[in-house]
Amino acid sequence: MVRALIDVSFSVKKGEFLLIVGSSGSGKSTLLNMIGLLDKPTTGEVYIDGTNTTRLSDNQISAFRNSKLGFIFQFSNLLADLTVLENVLLPRNIQHTSQNATQEAIALLKGVGLESQMNKRANKISGGQAQRAAIARGLINKPAIVLADEPTGNLDSVTAETTIQLMKSMARKLNQTFVVVTHDRHQFGDVDRVITIKDGRAFEGEDLPTKMEVTA
C-alpha cells in the first residue's frame, strides 16, 4: 500500500487565498480530492464548515459537495450545448434552489467580464472566457470553499495571469475562500499562504514542516 499523504492536517481561514504546491506525484492532487470529498482518507477526518465530512453517507456527500464546495479545473468542463449562463446555473439547478438564481448568475458573469457572452453556446467562446465562466459557476452556490486544480494549466501566460487576478479579486470582493493546487507557485505572486506538499508531507511556506487541521 502506498501512503499518498502522511500526517497532513491544516486549517483554512474564511476568505483566505491558499496555494497548495508540489511536484508531480507529491500528493497535492490526492489532498485536494479529499478536501473535495472525491476520496476518503484511510485515517483522520476532514471538517468543512463545521461538518465532519468523513461521516457522511454517499448521498449526503453528493448534496454537501454541491452546496458547500465550488470547483474549478484545468479544463473548464463547460457543457458545449448549453449557453454560458446555463452552465453557470447548473449547480443551482442540481441543488433545486432556483430563487434569484438567474439574477445571481448574471451578476457573477458581469463580475468576471462575460456579460456580453452569457447567451452564447459554451463551444463558441475562447478558452480564457470558458475558464472565467467556470469561476462564476464555482461561485454560484456561495460555497464554503472553492477548490481549483491547476486552473491555469491549459491557458497561455497572458490569459493565465488574467485568470489568477480574477480569482484573487473575487476572493477579496466576496470574502471567498480559495484553495488552489498548482505546480507553478511563482505564477500566482502574492497570496495569503502557501502549503508545500513533498513526499506526502505538508510544509508551511516553501521549506518548513508544519502540522495543521483542515477546516473552513
Strand 201-204: give its sheet, edge to edge: 69-72, 145-149, 178-182, 17-21, 193-198, 201-204, 208-209
Tell me if 106 is assigned to some domain.
no
179, pLDDT greater than 60: yes
The pLDDT confidence band at residue 4, using thresholds 50, 70 and 90, is confident
Higher pLDDT among residues 7 and 197, named by residue: 197
167, pLDDT greater than 50: yes
Q: What is the mean pLDDT of residues 95-122?
A: 91
215, pLDDT greater than 70: no
| Per-residue pLDDT reduced to its tens digit, 58-95 | 999 998 998 899 999 888 899 999 999 999 999 998 87
Tell me if 101 is assigned to some domain.
no
Tell me if 151 is assigned to some domain.
yes
Tell me if 11 is assigned to some domain.
no
Question: Nearest 10 degrees: CA dihedral of 63, 47, 211, 22?
Answer: 10
The pLDDT confidence band at residue 192, using thresholds 50, 70 and 90, is very high
Q: Which domain holds residue 153?
A: 17-80+143-209
155, pLDDT greater than 90: no
Q: What pLDDT is stored for residue 39 in this prediction? A: 87
CATH of the domain at 190: 3.40.50.300
Tell me if 188 is assigned to some domain.
yes
Average pLDDT over the chain, rounded to an integer: 88
Q: What is the mean pLDDT of residues 89-118?
A: 90
The structural domain count of the chain equals 1
| Per-residue pLDDT reduced to its tens digit, 8-21 | 888 899 999 999 99
Whole-prediction pTM: 0.87
23, pLDDT greater than 60: yes
Parallel, antiparallel, or unpaired for β 47-48 and 51-52?
antiparallel
Tell me if 132 is assigned to some domain.
no
Tell me if 68 is assigned to some domain.
yes
22, pLDDT greater than 90: no
Q: What is the mean pLDDT of residues 119-134?
A: 95
187, pLDDT greater than 70: yes
Q: What is the mean pLDDT of residues 30-35?
A: 89
Tell me if 108 is assigned to some domain.
no
